[in-house]
Structure 1
């Protein structure tokens, strides 16, 4: 049973990455553009450009979420996303109360740990990282061995 589960692990990690990246990117798009029915902020459903920290967080959410969704630069994008959610939890939410259930920080905590996991697992299956690495490896042809030089 364990061997069977291990054989599908890259596919499950890939699906996890896609879902987490999509949800994170959608949150950023909702905050920046007021789309997807999740408009936040007060200016026409969007966060005013340059406002600290909301606008910067939304840009990170959209960019890092999209990269993670595609599996392109997954580990680096996940590290940035995890750090931004740790900041959001400790600087914004925890001031209100200790526990995430009390301070509204559950999404920030969950995203933080989900992205932290992806830093260590990588993109799994279906990622552009793997496709590009495979393509580069296929194009790299080892040089033919040279014949010894006769004296």
Structure 2
């Protein structure tokens, strides 16, 4: 097995951590008005709900906890943002300013399909369950 094959699960974990962190920062900016963002009032559709998904979903992906489900929800949110907010403005992402939504949507879909990698709470909990003696 060559170096690149051995590195895959670790690179996947680093990718997941970075994408989750950046996404959670978007949510924190919307919810708490930090990092240069402006807080969205509670309950405002769809920004406040997007902030919840971004903060919680991004945090779960960052930690690698319930990774596949969280990533799928985040991917769907970004697909919704792209097609409802950006795509009506123009056909191409460069024209409609939807590049970030498109990249996040596809990144989270990749994480949902490939899983969290080796450095994840899901992986750690899975190993712990396998080692635990069966209860009778």
TM-score range relative to shorter protein: over 0.9
Residue-by-residue CA offset, 1:108-130 (whole Å, 9 max, x unaligned): 00000000000111000210001
Identify the residue that residue 119 of structure 1 maps to in structure 2.
112
Q: What residue ranges of structure 2 are gaps of 5+ in the alignment? A: none
Identify the residue that residue 13 of structure 1 maps to in structure 2.
12
Q: What residue ranges of structure 1 are gaps of 5+ in the alignment? A: 40-44, 144-151
2:48 corresponds to 1:55: yes
TM-score normalised over the length of structure 2: 0.95
**Greater than 4 Å deviation, 4+ residue runs:** none
Residue-by-residue CA offset, 1:77-108 (whole Å, 9 max, x unaligned): 00000000000000001111111111111110
TM-score normalised over the length of structure 1: 0.86
- What is the alpha-carbon root mean square deviation over aligned residues? 1.4
Larger radius of gyration: 1
2:69 corresponds to 1:76: yes
What is the DSSP-based 3-state SS (H/G/I as helix, E as strand, rest coil) of the residue aligned with 1:94?
helix
Total equivalences in the alignment: 136
Identify the residue that residue 24 of structure 2 maps to in structure 1.
25
Distance 1:23 1:140 in 2: 38
